[in-house]
Amino acid sequence: MPYIGDIMKIKKIILVLCAFFSGAFVFSKAPYRAEVQESFKLNKYNRKLGYQITEGGNKIVFVFDAASYNIAKPTKVFVEGSFNGWAKKNPGWELSPLKKDKSVWTLECEKIDVMIPGNSGLPEFKFVITEDKSYIETVCGQELHRTRSQTTEPKAISRIPGFQMATNNLILFPEDNPLEIVENTKIADKQKKLKDFDLENPEDQKTLANFRLVPGTSNLFRGYHPYKKSKTFDTEDERIKMVNKLLRDNKIQSVITLSGNEQIDAKKEQISVYAQTIKENKNWLFVDTNYNTVYYRSNGEEFGNLIAKIVDFINSHPGPYYVHCRLGTDRTGAVSAVLAALSGASWEEIKKDYQKSNDAGIKEFRDYRLLQYSFEQMLFKPIDKVENLQQELSNYFIENNYLTSLDIKTLQERLKVASE
């Protein structure tokens, strides 16, 4: 017969084992993944996520739950996102209140209509809400109760891991891994301070300046703006100094600015002597393009003509060359990717280079799938169906009369000249 002490020991062991396996269960619990309903039913998940996949994955129902957003009586609700150019109050994207619950608004769409990625590499969206707000106005000593229309764009409210980035809602499908988004969000939220960089280390210098050689070339570099500040971080003065140091070190002779010819703020900005010399030698091209053009309208005339203008500039000015916008991420990322592809870089090299901008620590994140969407608009096929990227992209620009075979051949020769 066991002693009382032995029984107590056994009980303790059992309790420890229970606690262990209970904890193991908690920590091994799989993250919530997007679910598909055959027909739409309101639940605690779609109220927070703002959408529901239905009909075997073929349709998306946007769901705005006023109570979840602490909005009493919205008068109109719209959805804006990466799939409609972030258009506010677009009548085609207006939600309607449910008949059974007027505090919940919905809009059903075809899946294909929302499959356009944002910075996260996934479709992104927000709601645009119009509501009447009461206020008191004093007129001739009398208080009058009035109402006025007010528009807001509330940030994502979901705390389900992986379904939001920055202030935007994300649309995930069952095959998407939320944990991947969680890791990417950590990068998006990270702001590197000056102390995080070893300014004596050449690689840290390049990372700070977002400066690097474009793949497929030996004579084209990309990076941050050489004199315009875009952030208020403690890194900005040193970042711009480093850009100009790297311009000198790499003997840059010609510069392509994709953010227009902006005025210098004399109180906090100045152009370096080296950069000023490039300007005075008339080896500086200023063009002004935008996010929507380079990503969502890449198969349009505006982007085609932009590439033609840049190629003409490169072919008629001395190298090495430097291409940049403000941050060196979006406009620079898309344009340098096209020039890289025309120069023979592989898609794997291009997408790897594109995501290096995430290392700069500027509280920004770009997923290569956004760039991939831009390329697929020009190639008219999925990127994994492209057999020869250089040839097929060249054909696109030639067949649409933006470039000639000679333009592309000259470009390739100029961008592959080894720097002295």
Q: What residue type is 377 in one-letter code?
A: Q
Statement: residue 287 has pLDDT above 90 = yes
> Tell me, what's the pLDDT at 49?
97
Angle subtended at Cα 285 by Cα 280 and Cα 289, rounded to the nearest 5 degrees: 145
Q: Is residue 257 within 8 Å of residue 214, measured between CB atoms?
A: no
Backbone angles phi, psi at 14, to 5 degrees: -60, -45
Three-state SS for 381-420 is CCHHHCCCHHHHHHHHHHHCCCCCHHHHHHHHHHHCCCCC
- In the structure encoding, which two tokens stand for residue 187, read together? 């990068």
Phi, psi of 315 (to 5 degrees): -70, -10
Mean pLDDT for all residues in the chain: 91
Residue type, 339: L
Coil vs helix vs strand at 319: coil
Task: Decide if pLDDT at 255 tops 80.
Answer: yes
| pLDDT-derived band at 6, boundaries 50, 70, 90 | low
| Domains, in order of start, for the chain | 36-188 (2.60.40.10), 191-415 (3.90.190.10)
112-121 average pLDDT score: 96
Decide: 61 and 52 in contact? Cβ < 8 Å: yes
Interior angle at CA 11, CA 7 and CA 13, nearest 5: 115
Instruction: Give pTM, 2 decimals.
Output: 0.86
CB 63 within 8 A of CB 47: yes
E strands present in 307-398: 321-324
**Separation between Cα atoms, residue 259 and residue 329, nearest integer Å:** 12
* Kind plus residue range of the DSSP H or E element containing 122: none
CB of 259 closer than 8 Å to CB of 331: yes
pLDDT at position 419 = 44
Q: Quick check: helix, strand or coil at residue 162? A: coil
Lowest mean pLDDT among 24-33, 245-254, 345-354, 370-379: 24-33
Average pLDDT over residues 250-270: 93
Q: What is the DSSP string of 138-190?
A: EETTEEEEEEEEEEE-PPP---STTSEETTEEE---TTS-HHHHHHHHHHHH-
The whole-angstrom separation of Cα 46 and Cα 64 is: 9
Contact status, residue 184 vs residue 367, Cβ threshold 8 Å = yes
Share of the chain above pLDDT 90, in %: 82
Of 18-22, 70-74, 166-170, 202-206, minimum mean pLDDT range: 18-22
The answer to whether 73 touches 66, Cβ cutoff 8 Å, is yes
Structural tokens at position 103: 């505090």
- What does the pLDDT read at residue 26? 36
Cβ neighbors of 416 (< 8 A, separation 6 or more) are 217, 218, 219, 343
Q: Which amino acid is at 229?
A: K
Q: What was the pLDDT predicted at 148?
A: 78
pLDDT mean over 202-228? 97
pLDDT of residue 134: 74
- Dihedral angle sign, alpha carbons of residues 81, 86, 87, 89: positive
Q: Tokens representing 118? A: 């944002």
343-361 pLDDT per residue, tens:
999 999 999 999 999 999 9
- What single letter denotes the amino acid at residue 381? K
Please determine, for residue 21, whether its predicted confidence score (pLDDT) is greater than 80.
no
261 neighbors 329 (Cβ within 8 angstroms): no
The answer to whether 214 touches 414, Cβ cutoff 8 Å, is no
